[in-house]
Structure 1
Amino acid sequence: MTADKILATEIRSPLDLERYNRHNWHGSCHGGDLSLAQSETLRPVPGYAQHRMPIPGLYQTGATTHPGGSVTGGPGRNAAMVLLKDLGRDLNEVIRSK
């Protein structure tokens, strides 16, 4: 690739990432503090680690949920599995029905 092929560039610092999305704490893609206090069953906060929210039918996913922002697709897959379980469905059944 040569310079004449590049249409635009953009450079962002960790501070820019935090300004764009306040959940990117200090520019981290993990969303919040990646510490023991925010890991596994404590992520994002105790009581909400299983993707279910206190409002029936509302689920959460993304970098702030287990296993965190460095596992591409992991939080979405986990939330989908919880949702399917709550609906009494099985992932293999859903895939076969397509």
Structure 2
Amino acid sequence: TDDVGEWPSLALDSNGDAHISYSDTFNGRLRYAQKAYDFWYLNTLDYTSGAGKFSDLAVDDQDGVHIGYINENNHNLSYIKIPDAQLPELPEVVNSY
């Protein structure tokens, strides 16, 4: 069985659009899904093997998306910020511990 969609976290922005982070454990990636204009947009945020464990997502009052997660291979705690719910070309890990 493909283990895609483990450790999901869901939040809504000010428009009522859904944002979901989850672990694609089959491929070892942190994934992000955003619903906007009746379409779902799917992106890989962290290609590092083992990324996405215990994914936790929040949307702030400016519609910025914040995602915290653990990489199960190197045990790093990482944080990604997506300003104004707009996916940057290359999402940046703001901090890793």
TM range, normalised to the smaller chain?
Answer: under 0.3
TM-score, normalising length: structure 1:
0.24
* Structure with greater proportional helix content: 1
Q: Which has the larger radius of gyration?
A: 1
TM-score, normalising length: structure 2:
0.24
* Structure with greater proportional strand content: 2
Task: Report 1 or 2 for greater relative contact order, CA contacts < 8 Å, sequence distance ≥ 6.
Answer: 2
